Amino acid sequence: MFTGYSCTHAKTDEQIYRVTDPRSIPFGHDASLDFALCPFPAGLYKNPVPPPPKLTLASPVTGLPGVGSERAAQLARLKIFTVHDLLLHRPCRHEDRRHFFAIKDLQLGVAATTRGQIVAQGVNYFAKRAKSVFEFILDDGTARLHCRWWNLPFLEKYFAVGDDVMVFGKPNSLKPRTIDHPETENVEAGEEISIHLDRIAPVYPLTEGLPQRWLRGLIWRTLEQFEPQIVEPKESPASLPALASAIHLLHFPEEMPDVEIARRRLALDEFIELQTQIQSRRRKLQANARGLPCAGDNHLIKPFLHALGFTLTAAQTRVLREIRHDLGGAQPMRRLLQGDVGSGKTVVAACGALMALESGHNVALMAPTEILAEQHFVNFQKWFQPLGLAVEMQTGSRKTAGSEHRTSNIEHATSKAEPAPRPTPQPSIFIGTHALLTAGFELPKLGLVIIDEQHKFGVAQRETLVRKGRYPHLLVMTATPIPRSLGLTLYGDLDSSVIDQMPAGRGRIRTFVRGAAQLPKVHEFIRQKIAEGRQAYVVYPRVEEGDLKTGMKAVTQEFARLEKIFAPHRVGLLHGRLRAAEKDTVMAAFRANEMQILLATSVIEVGVDVPNATVMLVENAEQFGLAQLHQLRGRIGRGAHESFCIFVADLKTDDAKARLRVLAESNDGFRIAEADLALRGPGELLGANQSGLPPFRFGDLAQDRALVEQARELVGKMAGPAARG
Ligand code: ADP
Ligand code: MG
């Protein structure tokens, strides 16, 4: 812990050591202090002082006494720019310094507070006065305690024999009892408030050169001054303390549990702010936007469903009804479609697209990876071309693959599968990656935007695509079940549909967890499945460089080895660094069963659909998140055959075992997602820095689900029932 004593600025140390009553800052008895404490240049201070501008919570910290440009720069490194930021600077922990120990009871290495009188003090210089140690000896009647500071000789003038002093620190020796660089506070006669000792004291994150005690003192004084200015939001619930008192308790709690109560109150505030944004965005949309009539007339859907070869599940049908209702509604649809991997979201999206196409509008479908976009392209071509509809493709690397995909205007586009130029029948569906977002790419008459695996995109990207049209309908799909707290945070402005049923006729998936020593057996098992005509995925965490020390394997390094093991069967290689054309070739060969084994990285995590593949082997499984492993498992079990998922992992830690056990025991994506959120936090769960999540200072989505819901209700209530959608 940084105690603040090694600070080299005498001007601030003055403040640190002498202030026992924060309301009586020793103002200006030392020239260097004038500068430190006065918000104006020191020279000015001697002249008639202009009335200080009224500070508000939004004022920069430089307006506070004692915060000069140097301190402000240090605070800025902690992202503290305004008074408000300072008041919300979250302690990393609190130390209970209320209980005074007798000096004789101090224990080696155990931090404790004690109190006594100085019976001797002085500085020793050595190394030709280049170094020094200041020391005082404290006596409380039970024993003596040596307190020492290196190279801070000026401390001598702050401590005199006879002073009554409180000390907090860890004894580093008991013979004699010694604490190096403790925190101290002079106890002066009369009533006083102690900031640092004799209380539960906050310990803050610091940056270099910023003393803990200085910051604690600053926050204390700032709180005193600004608490009256903290306005209670109108949405506040009665069940938690008022905002101002929560902020006070956050820093200076009466009891330890106050800290968590304060955190919850402040977390609620963050959620309220976010919900206010979400709900007002939604209201604005409802006020301004007219829904394009896109419900269709069935003339395309009927033949489509007829040719499909299976009937929709009840869940799919229910969701389609919800979508149709929205597409014919007065306001643009804003709907989140959730369904576990393999639940059949794509077909539902296709039906939604057909409704818009029937109504004469174009459709855009955006997927997070080229592999997935390509797969959608293949599927939609297969489904839509017999209906006389054009299916277009737009991905980053695809611009060179065929000039027909480079079109910036749908009028000039021709389908990839029909190179012979002929006028594109209107309307059409455009499938692509984020390349759809490029500025030059126009999508006229855009009726419906579909976003697959939404969590791979940020909210901003979603909005960019939507803005290509005039308030088109929006359907976002996600196969990563989103725990409700996250859902309300990320997708609070969307209505939700859930496909909670798997298509019939799926083979079951059995999941196994194995150690690396059992790999030869696993390989043998895979050979056997291939002999039966099935196919297999083998997934590694890395593309190129494995790591011998951690045993982490890379897909390109394992390729040659596995080719030998599985000869004469063909092994394919798929990872993110391949060019799009290469990826296509590999995927096509695997789909056609020209390759029996596909070595891959987690690029196949989303959406890839090859029903004949029934084995999924994941190596170094401990390197993946649970939700990610569940996604990988979702690549199998898509046909009628029984499927096998084998996680090979280093199971040295109990934690790793517990995590993988969740997977072995459950195939319920929601349960797994909740477990993953609790274990790894939202950023990891969503697997993206573009997750669109705002940074929370106090909120914790893994444990604050009730608060998120409460915030949503409170904000909804304030906006009035009429405004809610
Ligand atoms: P996901 O929800 O993971 O995107 P897909 O839409 O890719 O799932 O569907 C997985 C597989 O199930 C596809 O091969 C799809 O054709 C098939 N499928 C979808 N709906 C049904 C259904 N009702 N009956 C049978 N198979 C279906
Ligand atoms: Mg899918």
- Of 653 and 127, the one with more pLDDT: 127
Task: List pLDDT tens digits, range 95-144.
Answer: 888 888 999 999 999 999 998 999 999 999 988 888 999 999 999 999 99
Percent of the chain with pLDDT over 90: 40
Lowest-pLDDT range of 189-193, 454-458, 545-549: 189-193
CA separation, residue 534 to residues 341, 342, 612, 614 (Å): 20, 18, 6, 6
3-state secondary structure of 614: strand
- How far apart, in whole angstroms, are the C-alpha atoms of residue 349 and residue 452? 9
**Nearest in space to 73 (alpha carbons), one of 221, 207, 187:** 207
| pLDDT over threshold 70, residue 543 | yes
**Nearest in space to 525 (alpha carbons), one of 566, 464, 573:** 566
Instruction: State whether the beta carbon of 480 lies less than 6 angstroms from ligand 1.
Output: no
| pLDDT over threshold 60, residue 472 | yes
pLDDT band at residue 397 under the 50/70/90 scheme: low
370-384 and 301-308 helices cross at what angle (nearest 10)? 100
Task: List pLDDT tens digits, range 588-597.
Answer: 899 999 999 9
The stretches of 228-344 forming alpha helices (DSSP H) are 243-251, 257-288, 301-308, 314-327
The mean pLDDT of the chain is 81
Can you tell me which residue has the tokens 């934690």?
655
Instruction: State whether the beta carbon of 343 lies less than 6 angstroms from ligand 1.
Output: yes
pLDDT of residue 720: 62
Q: Whose CA is nearest to atom 12 of ligand 1?
A: 344
Lowest-pLDDT range of 49-63, 299-313, 566-580: 49-63
> Between vectors from CA 331 to CA 326 and to CA 334, what angle results, nearest 5°?
60
Question: What's the CA dihedral at 695, 699, 486, 692 to 10 degrees?
Answer: -10
Q: Which of 609, 614, 631, 641 most suits a substitution to test ligand 1, by most atoms within 8 Å of the C-beta?
A: 609
Instruction: State whether the beta carbon of 82 lies less than 6 angstroms from ligand 1.
Output: no
| pLDDT over threshold 80, residue 573 | yes
- Of 608 and 61, the one with more pLDDT: 61
What is the 261 CA–ligand 2 centroid distance (Å)? 41
Q: Whose CA is nearest to atom 4 of ligand 1?
A: 345
Instruction: State whether the beta carbon of 503 lies less than 6 angstroms from ligand 1.
Output: yes
- Of 467 and 132, the one with more pLDDT: 132
Nearest ligand to the CA of 347 is 1
What is the 305 CA–ligand 1 centroid distance (Å)? 13
| pLDDT over threshold 50, residue 460 | yes
Q: Which of 305, 308, 310 most suits a substitution to test ligand 1, by most atoms within 8 Å of the C-beta?
A: 310
When pLDDT is averaged across residues 370-378 and rounded to a whole number, the result is: 85
What is the 649 CA–ligand 2 centroid distance (Å)? 27
Instruction: State whether the beta carbon of 346 lies less than 6 angstroms from ligand 1.
Output: yes
Q: Whose CA is nearest to atom 13 of ligand 1?
A: 344
Nearest ligand to the CA of 607 is 2
pLDDT of residue 676: 76
The pTM (predicted TM-score) of the whole model is: 0.65
pLDDT of residue 411: 37
Nearest ligand to the CA of 499 is 1
| pLDDT over threshold 60, residue 408 | no
Q: Which residues of 359-386 are buried (b: 16+ CB within 10 A; e: fewer)?
A: bebbbbbbbbbbbbbbbbbbbbbebbee
- How far apart, in whole angstroms, are the C-alpha atoms of residue 365 and residue 457? 13
Lowest-pLDDT range of 173-182, 374-383, 455-464: 455-464
Task: List pLDDT tens digits, range 308-333.
Answer: 989 999 999 999 999 999 999 988 99
- How far apart, in whole angstroms, are the C-alpha atoms of residue 398 and residue 421? 18
DSSP E strands in 374-439: the ranges are 390-394, 428-432
| Ligand 1 atom index nearest CA of 611 | 14
User: DSSP letters along 580-595, please?
Assistant: HHHHHHHHHHHHTTS-
Residue 266 CB contacts under 8 Å (≥ 6 apart), including other chains: 88, 243, 246, 247, 250, 697, 698
pLDDT of residue 430: 92
Task: List pLDDT tens digits, range 339-356.
Answer: 887 889 999 999 999 999
- How far apart, in whole angstroms, are the C-alpha atoms of residue 710 and residue 708? 5
Instruction: State whether the beta carbon of 227 lies less than 6 angstroms from ligand 1.
Output: no
- How far apart, in whole angstroms, are the C-alpha atoms of residue 188 and residue 399? 77
Instruction: State whether the beta carbon of 477 lies less than 6 angstroms from ligand 1.
Output: no
| Ligand 1 atom index nearest CA of 341 | 3
When pLDDT is averaged across residues 568-585 and rounded to a whole number, the result is: 88
Amino acid identity for residue 362 in this structure: N
Task: List pLDDT tens digits, range 135-188.
Answer: 999 999 999 999 999 998 888 888 899 988 889 999 999 989 999 999 887 776
What is the 657 CA–ligand 1 centroid distance (Å)? 32
* Token pair of 572 as six digits: 């394919």
Can you tell me which residue has the tokens 């702050």?
158
pLDDT band at residue 264 under the 50/70/90 scheme: very high
pLDDT of residue 135: 95
CB atoms within 10 A of CB 721: 7
pLDDT of residue 570: 94
pLDDT band at residue 424 under the 50/70/90 scheme: very low
CB atoms within 10 A of CB 438: 14
Task: Give whichever of 82-86, 94-98, 679-683 has the largest mean pLDDT.
Answer: 82-86
Q: SS in 3 state form for 569-627? A: CCEEEECCCCCHHHHHHHHHHHHCCCCCEEEECHHHHCCCCCCCEEEEEECCHHHCCHH
Instruction: State whether the beta carbon of 125 lies less than 6 angstroms from ligand 1.
Output: no
What is the 638 CA–ligand 1 centroid distance (Å)? 8
- How far apart, in whole angstroms, are the C-alpha atoms of residue 616 and residue 529? 11
- How far apart, in whole angstroms, are the C-alpha atoms of residue 334 and residue 279? 13
What is the 430 CA–ligand 1 centroid distance (Å)? 21
Asked if 430 and 361 count as a contact pair (C-beta separation under 8 A), the reply is no
pLDDT of residue 369: 80
What is the 670 CA–ligand 1 centroid distance (Å)? 19
> Between vectors from CA 218 to CA 215 and to CA 220, what angle results, nearest 5°?
110
Question: Strands 144-150 and 334-339: what pairing?
Answer: unpaired
Amino acid identity for residue 225 in this structure: Q
pLDDT of residue 191: 38
| pLDDT over threshold 50, residue 94 | yes
What is the 331 CA–ligand 1 centroid distance (Å)? 29
What is the 309 CA–ligand 1 centroid distance (Å)? 11
Q: Whose CA is nearest to atom 18 of ligand 1?
A: 344
What is the 345 CA–ligand 1 centroid distance (Å)? 7
- Of 422 and 663, the one with more pLDDT: 663
* Token pair of 698 as six digits: 């106090």
pLDDT of residue 525: 96
- How far apart, in whole angstroms, are the C-alpha atoms of residue 235 and residue 237? 6
